Amino acid sequence: MEPIETLLTNGTVLTVDGQDTIIENGAVAISGDTICDIGPASRFSGHAVNTRIDARGGIIMPGLINTHTHAAMTCFRGLADDLDLMTWLNHYIFPAEARLNADKVHAGTLLACAEMILSGTTCFSDMYLFEDAVAEAAKSAGVRAVVGEVLYDFPSPNYGAIENGFAYTEDLISKWRDDALITVAVEPHSTYLCAPDLLEGAAAISEANHVPLIIHVAETESESERIQSEHGKSPVAYLAATGVLSARAVACHCVVLSDADIVLLKENNVKVSHNPESNMKLASGISPVPRLLDADVCVGLGTDGCTSNNDMDMFAEMDTAAKIHKVSCLDPTVMDARTVVRMATIEAARVLGLDRKTGSLEIGKKADLIVIDTQKPHLTPMYNIYSHLVYAADGSDVAAAMINGRLVMKDRQLVSLDVEKVMADVNQIAEALRNS
């Protein structure tokens, strides 16, 4: 009998599979980068094991998946708060981003990876500048990532004119096509910063290369009014007319949606990234997620960047997502805890087109998982595992994390990153920004 390479045992296994299987006193066996068996711990009692990870009675579950962020914006955390979206973008964020280079983006992304690992996120989707540096940082940190260079009408600090942006995106796709951790997406910024020919060009690259297309959509009333005024359509209808909507498309935010918009999203099998804390902080509004779910639109959770949210804790995002819709709908039954956990795991994986690889604990999937330490006062007692994860747990309760079969955190200590150096590097960037 071949020995098991790694066995996580002595925990409640929350699989988030199609049957919502939960295994009390369960175990997950890993060979290389892949889950090779799951079951009661007793099944593995006589089996040789190379490395054993004791969950100490906690929860063994899929790593959380952040469907939308701007990782390197950790460099600007707290730089511009309490502002509306357009003031925030035009007067603070775009000027700060003009000073970025690949090295700064790499440093900021490493800090984001440290924060995400420590709070249980094993995969993130990024839209930003110098995305090759984002990919390199995620790869070195051992974090699964979907990356895409932001495309917009004005010259980029990275590539300059949009023609170069298209070429940069194609080069990214070619370079990272067969990587175990990195997936490349085509990422036009939004309807209001992308002309029709840019959107059409982005859609063509996405279709030709069979990669996701990720875009901000209908984030604010002012955006929707502007697109209606300029094009005679809602942002969603405008994207449908320019050929952007498809099963590869991920629409981020989707705050201002009509019933007709939701029908278009469903008809085109578009996926949605819901970012409730960012939408709250910028006072953009509340996405009609219960209506999207009722229409069978696939929705995953995201944090957005650290300047419009300030942290990347997906446990906090789950808590907010559950509560904001209850109070908005005046219905305590909407967005139940099980639904929200799935939105941060398997549904998030579907949003990014990664559900065959990750998002649930199943034999044959990649070993992307976390261990939650439940031996804490705020997690005692536990009647319902989903309820605990959404309403009681937070990122600091994550004791261990594994991505693609590699242990990246053990006993709350990062294994894949020198966190002190990472923080010092970003503090140096921040000091230079303060003095400029």
Query: Tokens 């840019």 sit at which residue?
Result: 198
Strands 49-54 and 121-128: unpaired
Per-residue pLDDT band at 82 (split at 50, 70, 90) = confident
Rounded CA-CA distance 269/248 in Å is: 8
Contact status, residue 191 vs residue 151, Cβ threshold 8 Å = no
What are 160's strand-pairing partners? 156
User: Residues 159-188: pLDDT tens digits?
Assistant: 999 999 999 999 999 999 999 999 999 999
Q: Which of 51, 65, 100, 83 is nearest to 220 (CA)?
A: 83
What per-residue string of b and e applies to 209-245 under the rule 16 or more CB within 10 Å gives b?
A: bebbbbbbbbbbeebbeebeeeeebbbbbbbbebebb
User: Residues 356-378: pLDDT tens digits?
Assistant: 999 999 999 999 999 999 999 99
∠ at Cα 229 (224, 232), nearest 5°?
A: 90
Identify the pLDDT of residue 402.
98
| Fold designation for 64-351 | TIM Barrel (3.20.20)
Q: Which of 278, 294, 295 is nearest to 286 (CA)?
A: 278
Identify the pLDDT of residue 159.
96
User: What residue ranges do the domains of the chain occupy?
Assistant: 4-62+366-414, 64-351
Average pLDDT over residues 331-354: 98
Average pLDDT over residues 69-76: 95
Can you list the alpha helix ranges (DSSP code H) found in 381-418? 385-391
Q: Which of 90, 46, 96 is nearest to 76 (CA)?
A: 96
Can you point out the beta strands (E) in 200-265?
213-217, 249-253
Per-residue pLDDT band at 79 (split at 50, 70, 90) = confident
For the CA atoms of 388, 394, 400, 403, the dihedral, rounded to the nearest 10 degrees, stands at 100
Token pair of 353 as six digits:
């087109």
Contact status, residue 60 vs residue 21, Cβ threshold 8 Å = no
Identify the pLDDT of residue 184.
98
Identify the pLDDT of residue 246.
98
Q: Is the pLDDT assigned to residue 21 strictly greater than 60?
A: yes
Helix (H, G, I), strand (E, B) or coil at 371: strand
The least confident of 136-145, 302-311, 396-405 is 302-311
Average pLDDT value for the chain: 96
Q: Is the pLDDT assigned to residue 436 strictly greater than 80?
A: no
Identify the pLDDT of residue 388.
98
Sequence-distant (≥ 6) Cβ neighbours of residue 204 within 8 angstroms: none
Q: Is the pLDDT assigned to residue 268 strictly greater than 80?
A: yes
What per-residue string of b and e applies to 323-336 under the rule 16 or more CB within 10 Å gives b?
A: bbbbebbeeeebbe
User: Percent of the chain, pLDDT > 70?
Assistant: 100
Per-residue pLDDT band at 37 (split at 50, 70, 90) = very high
Rounded CA-CA distance 66/60 in Å is: 19
Which class would CATH give 4-62+366-414?
A: mainly beta
User: Percent of the chain, pLDDT > 90?
Assistant: 92
Identify the pLDDT of residue 83.
83
Residue 364 carries which DSSP code?
T
Rounded CA-CA distance 281/304 in Å is: 11
What predicted TM-score, i.e. pTM, was given to this entire model?
A: 0.97
Burial of 392 (0-12, 13-18, 19+ CB in 10 A): middle
The H or E element spanning position 259 is: helix 259-267
User: Residues 394-431: pLDDT tens digits?
Assistant: 999 999 999 999 999 999 999 999 999 999 999 999 99
Identify the pLDDT of residue 89.
79
What are 402's strand-pairing partners? 369, 407
- Residue 221 sits at φ, ψ, to 5 deg, of -60, -40
Per-residue pLDDT band at 46 (split at 50, 70, 90) = confident
Average pLDDT over residues 254-282: 97
Q: Is the pLDDT assigned to residue 232 strictly greater than 80?
A: yes
Identify the pLDDT of residue 92.
83
3-state helix, strand, coil in the chain (%, to 5): 40, 25, 35
Q: Is the pLDDT assigned to residue 48 strictly greater than 60?
A: yes
Listing DSSP states for 205-264 in one string gives HHHHHT--EEEEES-SHHHHHHHHHHHSS-HHHHHHHTT--STTEEEEE--S--HHHHHH
Sequence-distant (≥ 6) Cβ neighbours of residue 19 within 8 angstroms: none
Per-residue pLDDT band at 127 (split at 50, 70, 90) = very high
Q: Is the pLDDT assigned to residue 292 strictly greater than 90?
A: yes
Q: Is the pLDDT assigned to residue 1 strictly greater than 60?
A: no
Q: Is the pLDDT assigned to residue 281 strictly greater than 90?
A: yes
Contact status, residue 367 vs residue 405, Cβ threshold 8 Å = yes
Over its C-alpha atoms, the chain yields an Rg (Å, rounded) of 21
Rounded CA-CA distance 239/251 in Å is: 10
Helix (H, G, I), strand (E, B) or coil at 63: coil
Q: Is the pLDDT assigned to residue 2 strictly greater than 80?
A: no
